[in-house]
Amino acid sequence: MADNPLRKITEWSKAISLELFMSKDEILETYLNIIYTGPNIYGVEQASKYYFNKTVNDLSLAECAYIAGINIAPNAFNPFGEKDNTEKIEKRIITVLNKMKELGYIKEEDCLKATEEAKAGLAFKQTKPKNENSSIYSYHTDALINEIVTELSEKKKISKECAENYLILGGLTIQSTQNSTIQKIVETEFEKNTYIKNSKNEENATSQAAMILLDHTNGQVVACTGGLGKKDTTRGLNRATSSTRQTGSAGKPISVLVPGFCENAITGASVFVDIETTFDDGTEEGYTPTDYNGFQGAITLRRAVESSQNVPFVKIMEKITPATSINYMKKMGITTLTDVDNNLNLALGGLDKGISPLELAGSYATIANDGRYTEPTFYTEIKNNKGKTILKTSQDVKRIFSKQIAYVIKELLTQPVKGTYGTATYCAIPNIETAAKTGTTNENYDRWLCGFTPYYTAVTWYGFDKNETIEFGGKNPAGLIWSNVMKSVHKDLAEKNFERPDNIDNATICPSSGKVANGNCQNTYTEYFLQGTMPETCTVH
C-alpha cells in the first residue's frame, strides 16, 4: 500500500524543523542514543552493556557491526532468546562488515579479521544495564524535565516523546534553577513523620503536602516538593505543579487586595462593618458568608486582614466585581479560572477548579516583586554536547501594578504575622520583614500558608488527595512547614525590610473611624497610603 502523502509531508516538515536546531551529526547521535536495540533497551550504549557488558568504546569491530545491524529487528537477532539465532547473527554481522568495506569505512584486512570473529561466535554476556530513566530525582528536577519537554516540543515542533528522548539521552547541559541547599531543607522538613496522618476514608492513603519556594526577582523556582515522606517514584504526581485546590482565604490578596487597590476602591484604613450579611448573588437565598473568628463589628481593612475576617472581603468583591478580580488574577498567572468563578465566593477562595501551589506562588511573587509578574521557571538555559545554546527559558514578564500599590499590600500582609490577632504570628522571622496569609477551606479540607520576605516567596499546601477533614491539633500544618522551612532558609541572611518606594504617605489612624487621628482618638496605629488617598481627620472623637 502506498504511503499516505499527508504523512510524508508531515515527516518532511518535522525533519526540517529538527534541522533548525540540530546538525546532521547531532541528529545521528541522538538517533543512536534513542534507537530501540532490544527488550526495553534503548540506544547503542545500553545495547553494548546489555549484550557484551562493556561500553561502546570497548567494542570490537565485529561487535559494533552486530549492534549496527540489529536495528531492523532487534528481537530477531537476540542471542539470549529461546530460539537459536546464531546463524542469523553471523550472517547479519558479515553483511554489515561487507557494506562498511564497500563504502570505504574499513580496510580489507579489518573486514577479514572481524568476519573470522563473527564466524567463531561473539562473546555475548547478558547484563541488564541500569535504566537511566528510573533515577529518583527531586520534585524540582521532575518539574524541570516536564517544563523542558513541553517547551522543546512546542518550540522545535517535535513530538513530546522525541523531545524527552533528546533531553535524557542527548548529552545536554541544563542550567537548573534549583538551589540544592534550600531543596534539601524543604525535603528534610517534608520527610518528618509528624506531618503524615492516616486517612480515615481511604485505605493506605495519608495526608499530603506541597511547597514552592522561588526567587521572586526573577521567577526562578529554587525549591519544590510535591509530597510528604521520602520520594520513591520517578516523575510521579507532583502536587506542587499539577494539583489544583481551593485556596480559601489564601486567595484574598490576589482576588481582593490587588484589584481593590488597583481600582482605587480601598485603602488600608477603609472601615467595613463586619456583621452577618446576606449578599445578592443572583440566587433566591443569597450568599451569607461566615466569620470563623466571630464578627468584629466596624473594623479597618488592616484589622480584617490580620484575623482573616470574611465579610469585609466579600463587600470589597461586590464593589469591584468578580469579573474585574478574575481579570487581575489571570494577569498574575492564574490559568485555571472558569466562568463558574465569576461570583462573590471568589473573594474567599471558593473556586471551580482551584489553583496549583506553583501558580499561587507566582501570583504572590508579583506582590513581592513590586507589582511585576514573572512566570515561574525551573531552568534558565540548555546547551548541547558541543556547548551551543539550544534553548533559553522564555518567561512571561509584565508589570501588573505599581511599586506603590505593591508596598501598601506588603505592609497589610505583615499584619497576620505581627498583629495581636494575627493568624500567622508563628511565621515571624527574626530581623527579616515577613508577609504571610493563611488559608482554610470548608470542612477544613485544605490548609495553606502563602507569604514572602524581601528574599523569597513561598507557598505551602497541606491536605489529602481526596477531600478529607484535616485534624492536626488545632494547628495549621501548612503554616508549621512554611515557618520551619523559611526560618532555616533565612537564618544566615542579612537583616532586611521591604523597600519603601517614593510617593507613599503614612499617617496615624483612628481605628474606629478609619480617618487620621486627632488628639482624642484611642488605640491609634500607623497606616500607609498611596499619594492622594489619605483620609480626612477623624470627627468622631
Q: What is the CA radius of gyration of the chain?
A: 30
In a domain, 45, yes or no: yes
- For residue 148, the one-letter residue type is I
Q: Is the distance from CB of 10 to CB of 18 less than 8 angstroms?
A: no
Per-residue confidence (pLDDT) for residue 1, from 0 to 100: 43
Q: Is the distance from CB of 246 to CB of 441 less than 8 angstroms?
A: yes
DSSP β-bridge partners for residue 435? 452
Query: How far is Cα 56 from Cα 63, in angstroms, rounded to an integer?
Result: 9
Please state the length of the chain. 541
Provide the residue range defining the domain that includes 72: 22-130
pTM of the model: 0.83
Each residue of 438-460: b (16+ CB within 10 Å) or e? bbbbeeebbbbbbbbbbbbbbbb
In a domain, 183, yes or no: no
CA angle 435, 482, 178 (to 5 degrees): 100
H helical segments located in 23-107: 24-34, 44-52, 61-69, 86-102
Per-residue confidence (pLDDT) for residue 329, from 0 to 100: 98
In a domain, 461, yes or no: no
Q: Is the distance from CB of 313 to CB of 256 less than 8 angstroms?
A: yes
Q: Is the distance from CB of 328 to CB of 229 less than 8 angstroms?
A: no
DSSP β-bridge partners for residue 446? 463
Per-residue confidence (pLDDT) for residue 17, from 0 to 100: 66
In a domain, 125, yes or no: yes
Beta strand ranges found along 384-511 (DSSP E)? 389-392, 397-399, 435-440, 446-452, 457-463, 504-510
H or E element: which one contains 316?
helix 311-320
In a domain, 264, yes or no: no
Per-residue confidence (pLDDT) for residue 139, from 0 to 100: 97
Q: Is the distance from CB of 198 to CB of 204 less than 8 angstroms?
A: no
In a domain, 106, yes or no: yes
Q: Helix, strand or coil for residue 405?
A: helix
Per-residue confidence (pLDDT) for residue 134, from 0 to 100: 53
Give the total number of structural domains in the chain.
Answer: 1
The set of cell numbers assigned to 494 is: 542579612
State the CATH number of the domain containing residue 55: 1.10.3810.10
In a domain, 180, yes or no: no
Query: How far is Cα 480 from Cα 375, in angstroms, rounded to an integer?
Result: 27
- Convert the pLDDT of each residue in 194-239 to its tens digit: 999 999 999 999 999 999 999 999 999 999 999 999 998 888 999 9
In a domain, 442, yes or no: no
Per residue of the chain (541 residues), give pLDDT as tens: 456 777 777 777 767 766 766 778 877 877 887 788 888 788 898 899 999 999 999 999 999 999 999 988 888 899 988 788 899 999 999 999 999 999 999 999 999 999 999 999 999 998 875 555 457 899 999 999 999 999 988 887 778 877 887 887 778 899 999 999 999 999 999 999 999 999 999 999 999 999 999 999 999 999 999 999 999 888 899 999 999 999 999 999 999 999 999 999 999 999 999 999 999 988 999 999 998 889 999 999 999 999 999 999 999 999 999 999 999 999 999 999 999 999 999 999 999 999 999 999 999 999 999 999 999 999 999 998 889 898 999 999 999 999 999 999 999 999 999 999 999 999 999 999 999 999 999 999 999 999 999 999 999 999 999 999 999 998 999 999 999 999 999 999 999 999 999 999 999 999 999 999 998 999 999 999 999 999 999 998 8
| 82: number of Cβ within 10 Å | 6
- Convert the pLDDT of each residue in 255-271 to its tens digit: 999 999 999 999 999 99
